[in-house]
Structure 1
Amino acid sequence: MRPVRSTDWFGHPRGLSVLFLTEMWEMFSFFGMRAILVYYMTKHLDMGQEYASLVYGAYAAFVYLTPIFGGVLADRWLGKRNAVVIGATAMALGHFMMSSEALFYPALVTIALGNGLFLPSLASQIEGLYRDGDVRSKSAYNIYYVGINLGGFLAPLVCGTLGEVYGWHWGFAAAGIGMLLSLVIYLAGRRYLPAEPARGAAMRASRPPLDRAARDRFALLIGIAAIVVVFRGAYEQNGNTIALWADTGIDRQLASGWVIPMTWFQSINSLAVFAFTPFLVARWSRLARRGVETSLLGKMAFGAAIVGMSFVALGAVAAWNDLHGTRASWLWLFGWFLVFTVGELYILPVGLALFGRLAPDGFRATSIATWFFAGFFGNLLAGALGTLWSSLAHGWFFVLIGAVAGISATLLYMLGRRLGDVERHGSVEPAMVMTR
């Protein structure tokens, strides 16, 4: 596939700016809706906490499941451009459907289906913007990642505030408008994007056979994905029980008398990603130049351990405040998000890079689909664990979640010790992108 020819913007092809802005507004809509979803169910629809957690977990799980099938449809029949347009239209429709209580479940299904077409088809167009050997391609995903996190940062501030102050339906409407902006930007800039690759029989004819070595790699990836399922059972509490605790267990009042909106805490994660990613990338690069490079599985184990310890520490804070009948200071939750994000950056982007690095030739999309499949089962587990929020003391609940993350850290460490430097067989640079 030949890259598109265009005048550069900011030292990169114009198409990267188009994809950057398209994804930024898509992430604005996705995280804006997610920031208020559990509050909408428990406060407006009067759902019980256990059931709301299950619905949240099931929705988040299907957001990871649908890209597996959406990628196949885009590659074989629809094409990436058509898939993005259809997916964006469906997601915008789903967000606006959220304004009707009667359409709540159909709206969630519509958003998840649209996401399945949109998510794998947009990011996969980055590679076609550059010629082979173009050194700029190494930083393209980092730039794209900034757009992802910019949308994730703004979403809770805008959609969350509108929903919390003026009504939840206004928050969903803002998310729908963000999705429409994403679609308009993509349509306006599609002439700067790469041409469609071969589909159907031509694509299958060019794919190398799946030999024994490739099957062994897939077996390894499936094993790693199974461990990541356990980790995500803890990680995905971020938008579920953590959001509930921000409402009921945190003193959000400042000295001036102003109360911090509970949805704003969901923006800290993206803010911390902005702050910490340059330092982590620089540190890893500096160590690599000195010949000291931790295996990717080792980094993932370290990240899972950090996330586990952060939950245990949060459990101690929650237990102390429950014992004294008080609410924890908002600074505790702010600090938790910072530590939590450091752990996230060691495992999720690194894990995505590992799956790209170990993917057999011609099967990279299938490998990435395996990563998304881990997200599907992980969110189901997170929803099931979230049902314990109302039956356990909050301190013990957070300790339990920390133990779940700790189990995944132990398993990743053991796997890394056994396999050694297996990831050196690949050649893909780690892509620091936010994963859902």
Structure 2
Amino acid sequence: MSNTAKHPKALPYLFFSEMWERFGYYLMIGIFLLYLKNVEHGFAMTNTEASDLYGTFIALVFLTPFLGGLLADRYFGYRRSIVAGGLMMGAGYCLMAVHSLPMLYLSMTLVIVGNGFFKPNISTLLGNLYSTPEFQKRKDEGYNIFYMGINVGAFICNFFSAAIIIIWGWKYAFVAAGIGMFLGVIIFMAGNRHYTSGDVRKPMTREDMPFSRIVLTILFPSLIAGILGWMIPGNIFQSDSNDAFIFACIPVIYFYSSLYFRAEKADKRPIAALLAIFAAVVLFWAVFKQNGTALTIWADNYTNRHLTGEAAEIISGVKLAEKKAYKKDSVVLYDNQFRIQKKDGVVLKEYNYPSYFKNVRPDELPAENTDATLWSTPLTQSINPGWVILLTPAVIAFFAFLRRKGKEPSTPTKIAFGLLFSALSVLVMVAAVHVSGNGTEKASVWWLIGTYGVITIGELLLSPMGLSVVSKLSPVRITSLMMGGWFVSTSIGNKLSGLLATLWDGYEHKANFFWVNFALLMLATFIIFAMLRWLNRIMKEKGLN
């Protein structure tokens, strides 16, 4: 942030607004699956049930920007939409503190709708502020700085959630998420005077589809298709929610395809390039977003979280570790792969040691009737943003060096290599499964640190570059709408991540689960590399890199 003179004055406000917004979101989502599975304080869901709901939730969170971006573009403006969305999200987080399924679904709805207004429009506002000749060449750098703000919030929030849950309980963690969101709104409003040049509504042209027509031909059909998908006897895609979501996406995909056919000749190739990138990154998000499902399950059940000596004293002192008594008692019944056992929907119990100790090596078990100090599982959600914070300055400096030498790769090239690094990260977890004897022994946390480290390189090459290429290639009048298209592809990938995670319990050998993820990412890598010359040619035609 030392070079703010080289960036718009709005950047610090947008940076900290997004930081606190992401603090709230990632605090909530970092504990969401664990909360759903928790028998005593949550809803005692199985891995499959919790992963399905988690995937549907994060999918809808990133689907609503399709509509929120459109409404901001044409009617509400970016600033008004961002404030309204932030307030809805903050209220949603706070309502999650009320333990009931109806209230859970209401709070999820507020977060879903609120994010639709907040997320695409703060990104578009940033892009608009960098669209002047003074700042245009630094757009990638600006997005990287902005993306770092996201990860500062995502990093610190999990330390708060871990401590709050241990000291006060789950509901207060959700309230803390709401407070973080409200702080983000206050900071955004404080910088209001710096956003004027970027908050410009786009006048409709004859090529634009009227909003009433969008409702009748896109949104209404999506709703009907979703209902039909839910009501289909049996399941095509494993669950009613999967069927409903995939059916509902069909009209939305049709809408984005129609943008290409309705566009002016000069806009057709850039729109086609963006649609191709959207299709490929679906597979990236399908794997990346398993950080909240499969990798959280791995961290909770298969990772050695036991602390001893001075480390145990320090981590316990700051309330980031819990005590787990090693003694027999009435406990929830899990099988050897940590699948909760139910009969007629009722959780079964047994007289045994807590489930954490099922796969602890005999020589590492604590003494009978003593406490083991276990660091809190949500802390693993800070590994990825921690890597982003460490690596972002290096990535910015590396590409700045290449830019000075005239050798900076194009944005599509960065995306292609981002996918390749992401695929390689999955191999780390394949190795972790084999080293731990398919989870029969606890694995070191270094495996998680390693896999997150490699995928973070891929993320830094892909995600901020993806936002940047949308801002660069989009026709001005539909920039926010195309930014919404990026989030639609993220949404579909998110739902696919939940669908893949529901398969976790079905894989007796967990390495096979990760091999599937590796294959999907390699497929996406191949697609982008195969299109690379075509994509680079379109970028050059637009005078962009």
> TM class by shorter-chain length?
0.7 to 0.9
Corresponding residue number in structure 1 for 2:253: none
Q: How does 1:17-416 map to 2 (within 5 A)?
A: 17-43=12-38, 44-102=42-100, 103-126=103-126, 132-135=132-135, 138=138, 139-163=141-165, 166-194=168-196, 197=199, 199=201, 203-204=203-204, 210-256=263-309, 257=312, 258-323=373-438, 325-392=440-507, 393-416=509-532
Corresponding residue number in structure 2 for 1:5: none
C-alpha deviation, 1:132, in angstroms: 3.6
Q: Answer whether contact 1:249 1:318 (CA < 8 A) is retained.
A: no
Aligned partner of 2:287: which letter?
A
**Structure 1 residues 402 and 22, CA, compared in 2 at 3 Å: closer, same or farther?**
same
**Structure 1 residues 78 and 291, CA, compared in 2 at 3 Å: closer, same or farther?**
closer
**Structure 1 residues 165 and 320, CA, compared in 2 at 3 Å: closer, same or farther?**
farther
Q: Answer whether contact 1:88 1:180 (CA < 8 A) is retained.
A: yes
What is the root-mean-square deviation of aligned Cα atoms in Å? 2.7
The percentage of counterpart residues that share the same residue type is 32
In 2: Cα distance, 1:416 partner to 1:195 partner: 34
In 1: Cα distance, 2:412 partner to 2:195 partner: 35
In 1: Cα distance, 2:540 partner to 2:393 partner: 23
**Structure 1 residues 428 and 86, CA, compared in 2 at 3 Å: closer, same or farther?**
farther
**Structure 1 residues 426 and 163, CA, compared in 2 at 3 Å: closer, same or farther?**
farther
C-alpha deviation, 1:141, in angstroms: 3.6
C-alpha deviation, 1:228, in angstroms: 1.1
C-alpha deviation, 1:361, in angstroms: 4.1
Which consecutive unaligned segments of at least 5 residues does structure 1 have?
1-7, 430-436
**Length-normalised TM-score, structure 1:** 0.88
**Structure 1 residues 273 and 213, CA, compared in 2 at 3 Å: closer, same or farther?**
same
Asked which structure has the greater CA Rg, the reply is: 2
C-alpha deviation, 1:65, in angstroms: 0.9
C-alpha deviation, 1:198, in angstroms: 5.1
Bigger mean CA deviation after superposition, 280-289 or 96-105:
280-289
Corresponding residue number in structure 1 for 2:342: none
**Structure 1 residues 121 and 351, CA, compared in 2 at 3 Å: closer, same or farther?**
closer
Number of aligned residue pairs: give it.
Answer: 420
Q: Answer whether contact 2:303 2:444 (CA < 8 A) is retained.
A: yes
Corresponding residue number in structure 1 for 2:541: 425
Measured against aligned partners, the alpha-carbon deviations of 1:158-196 in whole angstroms (never above 9, x if no partner) come to 124323554221211110111121222233443443268
**Structure 1 residues 366 and 72, CA, compared in 2 at 3 Å: closer, same or farther?**
closer
In 2: Cα distance, 1:143 partner to 1:216 partner: 29
Q: Answer whether contact 1:35 1:160 (CA < 8 A) is retained.
A: no
Bigger mean CA deviation after superposition, 59-68 or 365-374:
365-374
Q: Answer whether contact 1:303 1:346 (CA < 8 A) is retained.
A: yes
In 2: Cα distance, 1:192 partner to 1:291 partner: 33
C-alpha deviation, 1:324, in angstroms: 7.3
C-alpha deviation, 1:57, in angstroms: 0.8
**Structure 1 residues 238 and 427, CA, compared in 2 at 3 Å: closer, same or farther?**
farther
**Structure 1 residues 413 and 169, CA, compared in 2 at 3 Å: closer, same or farther?**
same
Q: Answer whether contact 1:295 1:421 (CA < 8 A) is retained.
A: no
Aligned partner of 1:341: which letter?
T
> Matched residue of 2:204: which SS?
helix
Bigger mean CA deviation after superposition, 124-133 or 64-73:
124-133
In 1: Cα distance, 2:531 partner to 2:477 partner: 26
In 1: Cα distance, 2:99 partner to 2:108 partner: 12
Corresponding residue number in structure 2 for 1:433: none
Q: Answer whether contact 1:301 1:413 (CA < 8 A) is retained.
A: yes
**Length-normalised TM-score, structure 2:** 0.71
